[in-house]
Amino acid sequence: MTAEPREMSGESPTGRSDDRAGRVSRRFAFGDGRIFHEISIDGAIARSSIATDGSNDDALSQWWRGYLRGEKPETMVRRNLRSIELFSGAGGLATGVRQAVRELGFEMESVAAVDQDLEALKIYSANHGTREIVHASATTLVDVQVRGTRDEARFLYPPEPIRKGWESLVGTVDVLLAGPPCQGHSNLNNHTRRTDKRNELYLTVPAVAIALKVPVIVIENVRAVVHDRIGVVASTIRLLRDQGYEVETGVLHADRLGWPQRRARYFLIARRESAPLPIADVASGLSAEPRPVSWAFEAPGSVPEFMTEISDYSEENRRRIDWLFDHDAYDLPMSERPDCHRDGTTYLSVYGRLHPDRPAPTITTGFMTMGRGRNIHPTERRGLNPLEAARLQGFPDNYVFQPEGEPVPPRRGLVKWIGDAVPMPLGYAAALSALGPELAT
């Protein structure tokens, strides 16, 4: 760090005095043109800093705005933490984890990323410096068979790595990240929900972790994953506990961590040798009032042109947008909706306009489509563009969605990579639960 703070503030990120004596807390101070940040976990403290933007916003807003500008916290690096991610997508979960790792005083070294979307893997590698990208199903990595479900789940024999060269990774990886496909669990899936065969991919995560002897595991999914009919979460917990892991589970809400999006994800976090921090303790220590949508759209940095392109709406949808603004409205009445909605719909936010002074609803892969959510810009007569959705998801402005030598990404890919991502604050909080105990070592 380039300078020492004059005095650490005892205020919470919301500006209120905070006397809670929780296991996790954070504080800020200003000095010499910088914001100084402390995160305390069970009394152990990590310090980092970034340049202040000079605004009058509270410290947490300035800290996160620096993150969105692409600033890397200055800190004393203790050592590297080697990571592998399964079902990696374009790297949303890793982005939040990497930010927490840096603030804790470590550096994340991406050993491998595994996904069946090759273009997403290229984006992941371009941003995280990944040594090996594996364009294959996670089921090809290990030899494993599981008998029984839930509390009866058992490995028939110890899982073993079968991918060429991966035997050298045994005992060398610090953390395994994973976001198994969630469409089979989603409440928006009205066809195969709870029984989708993709749900079983969840069980490849404990198999890979055990085969490679990875001591720390972070798995994220939709909240409804716990209702899967074959009990993949309960089975995973049983398999991990049988191998000496301690497990924490819980739901994290982005807006309750101060972020301008109401998105929630279910996390399963496991550690050997020492327990993860309870997710509730982390959420309590990081709790803050949510920033509004307008905050997320302030002062974006320089980005490629394709990140600011907007949808070319039909004449009918342009008329609907005009109606919202002409009537200073945020919800489209039934009389202005398509005929198929006029007999009633449970998706009342569809065709809606974002409230500038509230957090956004969950960003999905339909964020550029008026009929797939509340996706109209709060102050301009248009829909969201990829940059705005990416910021709401917590991707910094310098995140590379067009790796060097690759063509401009197709819109269908871009909206998928952004809409499917885990918002940065959720990965950040999960990383504190998983890796916080490392701070004391």
- The catalytic residues are 182
The residue assigned the tokens 């961590």 is 257
Mapped onto helix, strand or coil, the DSSP state of residue 45 is strand
**Cα dihedral sign, 314-401-49-267:** positive
Contact 63, 35 (CB under 8 A): yes
Rounded-to-integer distance, Cα 198 and Cα 207, Å = 16
CA 10 to chain centre: 28
User: Which helix or strand (DSSP H or E) is residue 67 part of?
Assistant: helix 59-68
DSSP 410: P
Rounded-to-integer distance, Cα 47 and Cα 28, Å = 10
Rounded-to-integer distance, Cα 69 and Cα 93, Å = 18
Burial class (CB in 10 A: 0-12, 13-18, 19+), 154: middle
**Cα dihedral sign, 315-318-324-330:** positive
Rounded-to-integer distance, Cα 183 and Cα 228, Å = 12
Q: Phi then psi for 418, rounded to 5 degrees?
A: -80, -50
Rounded-to-integer distance, Cα 405 and Cα 408, Å = 10
CA 230 to chain centre: 26
Rounded-to-integer distance, Cα 155 and Cα 139, Å = 15
Rounded-to-integer distance, Cα 393 and Cα 136, Å = 26
Contact 210, 159 (CB under 8 A): yes
Burial class (CB in 10 A: 0-12, 13-18, 19+), 412: exposed
Give the pairing type, strands 175-178 and 216-221.
Answer: parallel
